[in-house]
Amino acid sequence: MTRITRIAWLCVLFFLPMVLGAFAAEILTNDAVVTMVKAGLGDDVIISKIKTSQNQFDLSTQALVRLKEDGVSPGVIKAMVETAAPVAPKASDAAAKETEDAVALYRQGKAVEAEAAFDKLLSERPTDADLKVWKALAILEQARAKKDADAAPSAYKPLVNKAYAILQPLGRERATNADWNFAMAKAFWMNERPTWAGKAARTALKLRADFVEAQILLGDLAYDSDVEALRSPSRSPQAETAGVWAGTEARREYEKALALPGISAALQAEALYKLGRVAADLGKNPGTARGYWERAAAADPDCRYGVLAKQGLEGASKK
């Protein structure tokens, strides 16, 4: 055996375990399957690869629809489903519990903590569209807190844009999802797109009839519209109409929210606080406003709108 041949064999013996280890460690994902399809590999080759490889496929309904849209054939999708690595029930239950805990933080008004929790979950489940929507909602809640505190647009607009960047790519697969439509409505609202915000909020309500947050947002849009109209020149048609009917539509939307079944104490406080704001700002009726704020503070004294209601009562008592 020549010296060159011996060196060649030594190289083979040295690198072969690494090559075999790389193949053994390969884990097929949805993206890998799509890559093979777009490379023009036949179904027989791809199915054989699926059957002889470890996998970590996302087989949720949305993921299967996406595979079909990416040109993956029914035969390949069937092979993916049949060979998918089983999910351990305990791991699945634990993931569901972690998601519930993160959503609970959002509903408690702890938006910063909620965003961090959703970030952690997305690091483990990067293709989970539902988690992305919830993260966007947590970011939008932070933006809304700044807007409610009368912060300048420059203080909350970057957060709105950050949330929109998450939501916009999901539109194709989440168009019939109530939470996605509500999140888009919220983003449009805080980006001064009231017409689009109203359409998205109404779509969310069509998809989920008892969607309290979407109903309250319609009240917010009506309130903003009246405030804007009242700022028009005093003799303009908009100002005259607003002067007569100011607050009527907003009040109707907030009252609809209060009538929805299963409304939480925090959302009751929000709707009642905002009814008080309508009475104070548009109706010029401080007595009625005080009554709403007392009810809001009683509904949930520790939530953001319960606290705002108590601040409104303190301010009214000083006048």
Q: What are 181-230's pLDDT values in tens digits?
A: 999 999 999 999 999 999 999 999 999 999 999 999 999 999 999 888 87
User: In the prediction, which pLDDT does 136 show?
Assistant: 97
- Report the distance separating Cα 216 and Cα 76, nearest Å: 46
Closest CA to 131 of 160, 104, 159, 102: 102
Residue 69 forms part of a structural domain: yes
Residues 6+ apart with CB under 8 A from 135: 115, 118, 119, 122, 166
User: In the prediction, which pLDDT does 143 show?
Assistant: 94
Residue 128 forms part of a structural domain: no
Residue 28 forms part of a structural domain: yes
CA atoms within 13 A on the CB side of 123: 5
Residue 139 forms part of a structural domain: no
Single-letter code of the amino acid located at 85: A
What secondary structure, in 3-state letters, does 249-282 show? Answer: HHHHHHHHHHHCCCCCHHHHHHHHHHHHHHHHHH
Identify the domain boundary among 59, 83, 107.
Answer: 83
Mutual orientation of helices 74-83 and 30-38 as an angle, nearest 10°?
150
Residue 32 has a CB neighbour count (10 Å cut-off) of: 18
User: In the prediction, which pLDDT does 230 show?
Assistant: 79
The tokens of 318 are what?
Answer: 């000083």
- Report the distance separating Cα 135 and Cα 118, nearest Å: 6
Residue 214 forms part of a structural domain: yes
Residue 112 forms part of a structural domain: no
- Report the distance separating Cα 192 and Cα 189, nearest Å: 5
Identify the domain boundary among 40, 63, 83.
Answer: 83
Residue 239 forms part of a structural domain: yes
Q: By residue range, what is the domain housing residue 24?
A: 12-83
Residue 195 forms part of a structural domain: no
Identify the domain boundary among 83, 118, 140.
Answer: 83
User: In the prediction, which pLDDT does 64 show?
Assistant: 85
- Report the distance separating Cα 182 and Cα 217, nearest Å: 9
- Report the distance separating Cα 84 and Cα 72, nearest Å: 16
Rg (CA), the chain: 27
If residue 28 lies in a helix (H) or strand (E), which one and from where to where? strand 27-28
Q: What are 285-311's pLDDT values in tens digits?
A: 999 999 999 999 999 999 889 999 999
If residue 242 lies in a helix (H) or strand (E), which one and from where to where? helix 237-245
Predicted confidence pLDDT, tens digits, the chain (319 residues): 555 555 544 443 444 344 334 434 578 888 889 899 989 989 998 998 888 888 888 888 778 878 888 889 999 999 988 887 665 554 677 888 999 999 999 988 899 999 999 999 999 889 899 999 999 999 999 998 998 888 888 999 999 999 999 999 999 888 999 999 999 999 999 999 999 999 999 999 999 999 999 999 999 999 999 888 877 665 556 555 555 567 899 999 999 999 999 999 999 999 999 999 999 998 889 999 999 999 999 999 998 899 999 999 988 766 5
Assess contact for 54 and 26: CB atoms under 8 A: yes
**Burial class of residue 96, CB neighbours in 10 A (0-12, 13-18, 19+):** exposed
User: In the prediction, which pLDDT does 14 show?
Assistant: 44
State the average pLDDT for the chain.
85
Domain count, the chain: 2
Assess contact for 147 and 173: CB atoms under 8 A: no
User: In the prediction, which pLDDT does 10 show?
Assistant: 44
Closest CA to 68 of 181, 171, 173, 166: 173
